[in-house]
Structures are given as structure tokens and as C-alpha cells.
Structure 1
Amino acid sequence: MCGIIGIVGRYPASPRLVAALKRLEYRGYDSAGIATLSNGELDRRRSEGKIANLESALLSAPLDGTVGIGHTRWATHGPPTTRNAHPHMHDGVAVVHNGIIENYTELRKSLSEKGFAFETDTDTETVPVLLSSLMKEGVSPQDAVRQALKLLRGAYALAILFESHDDMMIGARKGSPLVIGVGEGEMFLGSDALAISPYTKQVIYLEEGDWCVLTKASYTIYNEAGDEVTRPVQEVVTEEDEAGKGNYPHFMLKEIFEQPRTVKRTLDVYTHPAHQTLGLPRAAADQINLADVSSIYMVSCGTAHYATRVSEYWFEQLAGVPSKTDIASEFRYRRPALAKNSIAVFVSQSGETADTLAALRYCKEQGIKTVAIVNVQTSTIAREADVVLPTYAGPEIGVASTKAFTAQLVVLLAFAVAIAEAQGHLDEAEVAALSNDILTVNSAIEKALSLDDVIKKEVIHFEQAADAFYLGRGVYYPLALEGALKLKEISYIHAEGFASGELKHGPIALITAKTPVVFIAPFDDLFEKSLSNLQEVAARSGPVLLLSDEKGIAHAGSAPTRSIALPNTPEIIMPIVQTVALQLLAYHAAVALGTDVDQPRNLAKSVTVE
């Protein structure tokens, strides 16, 4: 969620901190700030709104020093004002924080009773006040951190500076990710590797409960018990070309158009190089006895949840394996009873989603085999799962997920094919035929992208709309949910997705001539039933946009107000092709309405706190 950068360096820190914060903008934020150490003294600049406002503040009042911390804040406790922006400082201590200090009220009350004053509405301010209170008792900064961490409840990634300690920074993590960057004569802290990748490729991922002391020349890591520990140094290579916007006006549009490449890149890993059939990579296949899997639990949040809901149909219809999807925040507190020989699949673009990670840990405690489908193979979820099935979408900067979603879909589809074959539901010839159909998906996506101008013209229905509805049957019902989510995320139009068969059970009461309705209905076994639902909407003057293929549009006749003919494709990959059209529809609606497409209000890319 929030972005953190820390530098104990050899060069002026301020411009490097700001550059790193820009790389973290994709995480979502509503204020930003930096603090530096120079000649033993701390100073800071903060602003609400975009990083451009922080840059303006620094132009009029620059900061010196080669040591500093920076932060992009997504407000939780207290409104997004300059006063509440990070870094927070108190009596020679400066802190940036990602997470939530759950017992901050209790700590704040205790510190206030001792005479310490607070200036903000945030939970984070408790940390520098607590540290300065401990140091007043004569302990060193390291000992103050050691003692303070034992008092904090909740989730945190922290980067801390202390006056009169120009060559030191302390970091700590619990429940929120934090990575050390090992440079040449300098050290870095970041909430992810992307923040520090221009400065070093050598990184160390702190484990749960770890804290560290950094100087320009060294790093020391301690575990939660306070014992010095060693963590592996890894080399991280980021796709710099994918982290930039190129010639596109928005990251989201660029990422939509990258999907033929990212889907193919992902599928290549799940395709046997000799006979071109889908399955799991050898390392993963060796860790799961697919033939014995009795049921599948899939746990995720947001768009990733809709990927799992699409794959429910694949696992059950192709493989005959009972499957259940759950929203991670509900799953972890419901404490479900888990069947023997089941597996639990956790899907997360970042691999750091707090609720998904907590659900994974619950399943591991229950002795269930855990599988992570993540876009970041060094993430916490990937490191803690028994098996990792990576996606290869590359960096996704736009907050609304696009290429990560389609990469998740193709991995889940390959997984379903592998289980179907292992359990005897598909023979060798059927696997070959199905794989051949699936491997045409990147060319089918290219054909769908060629309809961009056609889709753009359809946003006229949304420009004056207060509400919009998406309808689908079968596997297209979760796509209706995802299409509605995309529209409301970036255009701020209230949108809902419904199962078409539920229309008469309530939602039809909301249909008016001003309510655009998107029907996702390729010509398949359920098309006639979908067409009946479409006609019910049309009879009530609802403007209907039908997303189908040529045959479906021909059968629909004059019932829909407008239609978009997507390419004719094998039925198994049509949901992925439909997804691309839904993404473009939402994108062009948001552009027409003038919203911030890449960084929509109130949203964060990676939700690392509850």
C-alpha cells in the first residue's frame, strides 16, 4: 500500500528519494514526504496530493544530506493532509511506516500521561514518540528499537533515522514487506525491489519479525527474538522497459496492449517444449500429487478473486474436482473446515496482500498443501507457499489490474488441464487438442485489441450514466463482476455485475433508459437463455451493449441497442478475449470522464494491511 524508500548513501539523497517515490506511485497514495540527515540534524518536507507538490516544496526549500527516508501515504488514521503526511518526527527521531499500529491508542494514552505531546491524527506518530521516550532513559537507538518493537501490535514496515547518527538507518518489518538493497558503499531500504532497482540489483528480503541496522558499508539483521541472523542476498532483475509508459498516454492502456506478449510469456512456462501440451512446470508438478487432489480452495482479493471464480468452472468442468473460491478477508476469519487431500491456491499479483497471506498461513497450520500464483516470485506469499506457480506479467503500474489478471487466468487454466489429465478426465489426445486451442489465445487477444477504436465509440452510453450493470451466465458471470469492478475503479460510475439468471430476482427493478447494460454472451450452450434475459432488459428500455461473436450477434438481431463482435475463438479461451474488451471499455469510459486512470482516488495497488 504505502511506499517506503530509505537511503544511506554517498550522493545527495533528496533527488534520489523523490525519484524512488515516483516509482512507487503505482501503489496508490494521497500525500508524500521525505526527511534527510545533514550534519547530524533532521529536516523534512511534506505535501498532500501528488509528488509534484512535494517537488515544488523542495524547489523552494531544498534538503541537504546523503541519508534520508521517503514515503507515499495512503490515508488510514487521519485525513490526507500535510500534517498527517510521513515522515513523522519527534525529538530527533524520524519514521516512515507502512501498516497499522493496532494498539496506538493505548500507547498514545500512556505516552501522553508521561508528558509527551502529539501533533497528528495518525497511528504512526506513536512510533517516533515511543522511541524518543525510550532514548530519554539513556538507551541507544538500537536498543530503543529493540524494546519498542516488542510493544507494537499490528503490521509495520518501518524506516527510522536518528539525529546525530548520520551513518545509520534502522528498518523493521512485521506483516508488511521490506527489502534491503546492498549497493557499493551505500545501503537502501524499500517497500519493494522496484523502488531501489535503479541503485542496486542486490537485495535481501527481510523475514517476518526481522529488523536491521544499516550503515553505508554494512548491514546487520536481527530476528524477532533479537538474535543476529543471516538472510540470503538475491539478484533481482526488473523489466525497465515495462516500468515506463512508452508512447502510451496511460500505464493502463500500455498494459492492456502488452497482454499478447505477457500471456504468451506466461504460457510458454506451462507448455511442454516438445509436444506443445499444457501442464505444470516440472518443479511444481513434483511437489503436488495431482491425481490425489480431492478438492481445491482458492483464496484471493479483488480482481484476483474474479480470476479464481472463472477458474472454478474450469476445475470442475474439465477436471471434475470440487472447487470453492473465497475472499481472503472472509476466509481467514471464517476459519473453514478443510478437507483432507485438498489443496489451497492463493492468487495475488504482488504476493504481499495481507489478508491472502494470513489465509495461507492458516491453511499451512491446518496441514493443507499451499500453492501461490503470484507475479513476484520473491514476495512473501511466494516464499511461504509450498508450491509457486508464477505469472510473467512484468511490472504492473496501473492500479486497476489488467495484464496480471489475464496472466492469472492462463496459469489457472493450465493448472486445470494438468489436474484433468492427472485424474483421467482428459486423455492424451484431448489434452493435445485443448492445449492447441489455448495456445491460440495471444493471437486472439491481438484481434480483440484491433477493435480498440470500435470499443471506444461505445463509451457514449456511459458518459451521462450514474449506474451501469454487467450481466453474464456461467463462466461469464464472474467476468461480469470483473467488468463492473474495472468500470467503477477508474471511472467512478457505480457499476454492478449480476448473474443473468438472477435478473428477475431483483436487479431488473433498477433498469431504466439511463442505465447502460453490458451483456457478455458469446454464442454457446447458454446463449438462448442469455438472449431471453437481454430481451427482458430491452423491453424496459435499458440500453444494451452486447459483447459476443458474429454468430451470437446474428442470433440476437435487433434486441441489443449496440453490439461488438469479438473474434471467433475456441470456447475455452473466449473468457480471456472478453476480458480484454471489458478492460478497453472501462479505460475509454474513464478517459472520456477525465478521471485519473492510473491512480484512481482512494485506491492502492497492493493492500498490505487489513
Structure 2
Amino acid sequence: MLTEILEQPAAITRTLAALLPASDDVRHLARGRTQVLFAARGSSDNAATYGRYLSEIVAGRAAAHLAPSVATAYRRDVDLRHALVVCLSQSGETAELIETQAWARRCGAATVAITNVARSSLTSGADLALVTEAGPELAVPATKTFTAQLVGMAVLARALTRNAMDLRSAEDLAHVAHAVATVIAHRVDVEPAVRMLAGRPRTLVTSRGLAGAVAAEVALKLEETCLRPVPGLSYADLRHGPIAMVDDRTTALVLAPRDGAVLDGIAGIVPELRARGAAVVTIGGDARVSRSADVALPGPDLPEWLAPIGLAVLGQLVVEGVSRTLGLDPDAPRGLRKITETDPERPS
């Protein structure tokens, strides 16, 4: 897992080089399609959440998650003639998503597959395949394939903008690999955060907006590799009830971009969590966020729309360290495999 985390700057560079030239193909395929729908499971579903926010915030297109069970369990047709359906699977061989993509095309959608395997069932069944270049991933927890999917989401959203984004967006994308490499170069700085998370029995992860997808992903990674139930919630949802569980047995991991619309709210939740007895570890944010934390990790030097990519890498480094500290094997979590069957006993 750690080896593959360290490979991410190169994986991001390769993925941008592979996907940016397909931007015109994305625009052509999406012509006349007013809605973007995402279908995925697991880590890919968290990447899809980032894509949904980008589609609306950057591209100005209505977006939502498409429930695969509508296609695979209920088998109901839906009018998708005005939809662009994006299916994400790192392997491209998740049977439920292959079936969902085929169903979407029958219902009139244009389909895009985002996967890390060029010759996969998902790519062969799509109108357009965006193949990330993360390289083979051996550890069960998705790291470099997940960040490559986030890059894919950024490229997709940029291509879907009705008005071409300014040149600064291209410069921002070109800076992502360097920002991630800088984060990795200072990975020893995560050790205080690792000790704090390992030292208390309860953990929660929170953020909001674009970074909320990464909060959910880091929580999932902690559950997979550390064998603890870990909620990953928007701080808005956290305040609507779950915050009642926060006490002096809790470590809260708070993720924040360096700027943007949700930064004030994230800065406000940190002292609130500490007032309830939680130890708070922050990743990113500004001086207000870091001053309020027990342990503060500097975030990536990226604007809000791309910050989740760097925040994800920092989260992965923390998770890998916590798993090792707890005496577990982060490479091969108990009972998990690389490709998951959603309903292994369900007949096709």
C-alpha cells in the first residue's frame, strides 16, 4: 500500500497525459445531454461523489448518483435520453456496473467508462472509455487508482463546461502531480496524527463539499485497514445527530481545502469537536483550522476544486500508518478482495 501511495505523482502525470486529449470527445458525446449520472461502488463511488460536485460547481450541469439496483435488482427502465451516464470501476470487471452500463445505453443514455484497465468489459461496452494510467495495483485498498479516478473526474468536469475554463485551470491541473509529490516528500510529518488516531478507540472523519468525498473515502479506508467502524460525514450531517457520539474517546479527522466556500464552516467545527472532548487532527485548511487542532498537517498547495486529490493522498498516508501501528496488514485487509461481487449469489 505504501509503495503504491508513493507512485501517485507519476500515476497522476500519466493519467493527465492520457485523458486530457479526450476532452473534445467528451464534449461531443455530451452534446444535448443536460444531466450527468454516476454509477459506482466502494472507493469508486466516493470518486463519483467528487465528480458530481465538480459537474455542478465547475461545469454547471445537474448531476446525481444512479442507483445500480434500479437496473440490476428492480430491472426497471428509465428515460435516460438526456443523460450522460458515467460508470467508474478500477478493474472494469465489476459485474453489477457492467450490467448497469448496458442498461443505461438501452435506456437511451450516452455512456462513459472510467477504469484503470484498457481491455476490460466496462471499456468495451461504453460509448467512450477514459482509461486512467495508475498502473497495476497490488494492495487491496485502492490508493493510486482512486486518485487517478479523481483526476479523471476533474478532466471530465473541465470538458463539460459550457464556457471553456480559463488557462489557469490547465495550469492548476499541471501542478497537481507536483503538489502530491510535495505531500509525499513530507510524509514523516503524519506520525503524530497516526499516534493520535491509534490511541483512541473511536474515530470519525468530516469535511464538506468537494472535500466531503475524500472524507468518506478516508473513513472507508480506516474501516478496511483498521477494522473499526468509522463514519465519514459532512460536518452539516454530523451536526444533525451523529455529533452526540463525540466524547473524550474520539479522534476527529477533519479535512479542509486551503480556500473556498466551505472553509469557514470547517474552521467552526474544529473547536466544537474539541469542546466535546475529542482530539482533533486536521489536514489542510488555513491558520484558523490549524490553530484549533491538536495535530495539524499542512494540506496540498492546490485550489479548492483540485484539493481533494492531495487531501486523499495525505489521508492514505495516515491510514496506512494507523493500520501498521495497530499491528494489522494494510496491504491485505481481512476478508477483502480486489474485485467485489455485490450480489454473488444473484442469478443474472
Q: Shorter-chain TM-score category? A: over 0.9
Q: 1:594 to 1:330 in 2, by over 3 A?
A: farther
Letter in 1 for 2:273: V
Counterpart CA distance in 2 for 1:589 and 1:570 is 28
Give the gaps of 5 or more residues in structure 1.
Answer: 1-251, 273-278
Match of 2:278 in 1: 542
Higher helix share: 2
State whether structure 2 residue 11 is matched by structure 1 residue 262. Answer: yes
TM-score (norm 2): 0.93
CA distance, structure 2, for counterparts of residue 512 and residue 332 of structure 1: 41
CA-CA distance at 1:326 after TM superposition: 3.5
Which residue of 52, 59, 65 maps to 1:319? 59
1:485 corresponds to 2:224: no
Q: Is 2:177 aligned against 1:442? A: yes
Task: For CA contacts below 8 A with separation 6 or more, give which structure has more relative contact order.
Answer: 2
Residues 105-139 of structure 1: per-residue CA shift (max 9 Å, x gap) = xxxxxxxxxxxxxxxxxxxxxxxxxxxxxxxxxxx
Cα–Cα, structure 1 residues 328 and 598, in superposed 2: closer, same or farther, change >3 Å? farther
State the alpha-carbon separation in 2 of the partners of residues 453 and 561 from structure 1. 17
What is the CA–CA distance in structure 1 between the aligned matches of 2:229 and 2:338, rounded to whole Å?
Answer: 20
Distance in 2 between residues matched to 1:289 and 1:598, nearest whole Å: 38
State whether residues 202 and 230 of structure 2, in contact with CA within 8 Å, keep that contact through their aligned partners in structure 1.
yes
Matched, 1:459 2:200: no
On the 8 A contact 1:353/1:608 being kept in 2, the answer is yes
Identity of aligned residues (%): 28
**Kept after mapping to 2: 8 A contact 1:305/1:327:** no
Deviations 1:402-451 (A, max 9, x none): 0001111111211111110xx23x3xxx3422111111100000011122
Letter in 2 for 1:394: G
Question: 1:532 — aligned with what?
Answer: 268
Pick aligned residue for 2:89 from 348, 370, 383: 348
2:157 alignment partner, one of 412, 416, 422:
416
Partner of 1:591: 324
- Matched position secondary structure for 1:512: coil
State which of 36, 39, 47 in structure 2 corresponds to 1:299.
Answer: 39
Match among 252, 276, 280 for residue 517 of structure 1 = 252
Q: Which letter maps to 1:444?
A: A
TM-score under structure 1 normalisation? 0.54
CA contact (8 A) 2:19 2:132 kept: no
How much does 1:453 deviate? 0.5
SS in 2 for 1:440: helix
Identify the residue that residue 253 of structure 1 maps to in structure 2: 2
Gaps of 5+ in 2: 344-348
Label 1:289 to 1:365 Cα distance change in 2 as closer, same or farther (>3 A).
closer
Q: Kindly report which structure 2 residues correspond to 1:77-476, keeping only aligned pairs within 5 A, or say none.
A: 252-271=1-20, 280=23, 284-285=25-26, 288-329=28-69, 332-333=72-73, 335=76, 337-420=78-161, 423-424=162-163, 426=164, 430-476=165-211
CA RMSD of aligned residues (A): 1.8
User: Shift of residue 318 of structure 1?
Assistant: 1.3
Q: Counterparts of 1:330 and 1:580 in 2: how far apart (Å)?
A: 33
In the TM superposition, what is the alpha-carbon distance from 1:460 to its structure 2 partner?
A: 1.1
Query: In 2, distance between residues paired with 1:289 and 1:431?
Result: 22
Greater C-alpha radius of gyration: 1
Question: What is the CA deviation profile of residues 471-523 of structure 1, one whole-angstrom value per residue up to 9, with x for unaligned ones?
Answer: 11111112111010011111112211011012221111110111110111223
**Partner amino acid, structure 2, of 1:315:** S
Q: What secondary structure sits across from 2:297 in the alignment?
A: strand
- Aligned CA distance change for structure 1 residues 407 and 588 (closer, same or farther; 3 Å): same
Hey, what's the Cα distance between the residues in 1 that align with 2:93 and 2:132?
15
Whole-Å Cα distance in 2 between the matches of residues 582 and 329 of structure 1?
A: 30
CA contact (8 A) 1:351 1:375 kept: yes
Is residue 471–residue 477 contact of structure 1 (8 Å, CA) maintained in 2? yes
Asked if 2 retains the 8 angstrom alpha-carbon contact of 1:391 and 1:407, the reply is: yes
Distance 1:562 1:457 in 2: 7
Cα gap change, 1:257/1:331 in structure 2, threshold over 3 Å: closer, same or farther? farther
Distance between the aligned counterparts of 2:300 and 2:323, measured in 1? 25
| In structure 2, distance between residues paired with 1:318 and 1:487 | 30
Q: Which amino acid aligns with 1:498?
A: L
Cα 1:605–1:544 shift into 2, 3 Å: same
